[in-house]
Structure 1
Amino acid sequence: MANSLSFRSILDANKLTGPNFIYWFCNIKIVLKQEKEAYVLDGPVLEVPSDDAINEENEAYRVYMDDLDQATYMILASMAPDLQNQHEAMNALDITLNLKEMFNKKSHTERFDILREFFRCKMSEGNPIRPYVLKMIEYITRLEQLG
């Protein structure tokens, strides 16, 4: 339980305000992975079982819906109040889809800027290689975070 609370404190310290969407989403995924609920964002959406479904199917669907609810509450709790109000009637899947649509333009621009700097980066003759390699690693890491 203490481990779970320490991971959730990451979200309390880094609430979604808009411009920080990429970093916030990475943190959400980290916490959901620790809680064993990340599959609700990544995996297939479970359909409502039919009336003649076996108990295992009904139980799997119930667990899936509980985990989806928990992910939704966690996501909403880690947002600024104005964003919470906009998304309170949605589930975690719809919230993340909507947020990606809202904030993805910025990530495209940021990705373009990073790539431009990456390709312009040249090592000067006679300078040590270490700062150059570290700069390239920084660009690659930032691109990975943007997706």
Structure 2
Amino acid sequence: MHEKLIDMIDKPPMPEPINNDDVDAVSSYKKYLHDLMSTKCLMLASMSSELQRQHEDMDPTDIIAHLKKMYGAQSRTTIYQLSKTLFRSMLNVNAQVGPHVLKMISLMEQLEKLAANLGRSYPKF
């Protein structure tokens, strides 16, 4: 069900039928509006009350665009900081390898969660 609602966000908005005599077009448009409202309700239910107030008058595509605008820069900054920490990490001369490797793995996993592409050139097993 959720995947059907996610499609509502990705699809372009359906235009309102010009001719109200076309029963199929009107019923399709009513179904579209119902699905759009369900998607909006699901999105608002997953937000904090402050975000709900900010987005209650928007449609789902506008909500997604606004959230990307609000939080997109934050994730890019986080990706930059994690990448910088990862690529500058060096093993000290008398330090143990195990904790260093675990730290690097943790940084890489955090980057993957943020959908940062580290440019793997080998197949995943």
TM-score higher than 0.5 here?
Answer: yes
For the aligned residue pairs, the C-alpha RMSD in angstroms reads 3.1
Q: Which residue of 1 aligns with 2:62?
A: 94
Q: Is 1:47 aligned to 2:15, yes or no?
A: yes
Cα distance, 1:120 vs. partner? 2.0
- 2:76 partner SS: helix
Between Structure 1 and Structure 2, which shows a larger proportion of helix residues? 1
The one-letter amino acid paired with 1:46 is: M
Q: Is 1:127 aligned to 2:97, yes or no?
A: yes
Gaps of 5+ in 1: 5-31
Output the TM-score relative to the length of structure 2.
0.66
Which of 30, 45, 52 does residue 62 from structure 1 map onto?
30
- 1:44 partner SS: coil
Cα distance, 1:131 vs. partner? 6.4
Distance in structure 2 (CA, Å) of the matches to 1:84 and 1:140: 33
Output the TM-score relative to the length of structure 1.
0.58
- 1:38 partner SS: helix
Show CA shifts across 1:69-100 (max 9, x none).
Answer: 11101111222222211211111111111122
- Which is bigger in relative contact order (C-alpha 8 A, separation at least 6)? 1
- 2:5 partner SS: coil
Q: Which has the larger radius of gyration?
A: 2
- 2:15 partner SS: coil
The one-letter amino acid paired with 1:109 is: T
Q: Which residue of 1 aligns with 2:120?
A: none
The sequence identity of aligned pairs, in percent, is 31
Closer, same or farther in 2 for the Cα pair 1:80/1:54, shift >3 Å? Answer: same
Gaps of 5+ in 2: 116-125
Distance in structure 2 (CA, Å) of the matches to 1:48 and 1:106: 37
Q: Which residue of 2 aligns with 1:108?
A: 76
Count, aligned residues:
112
Cα distance, 1:110 vs. partner? 0.7
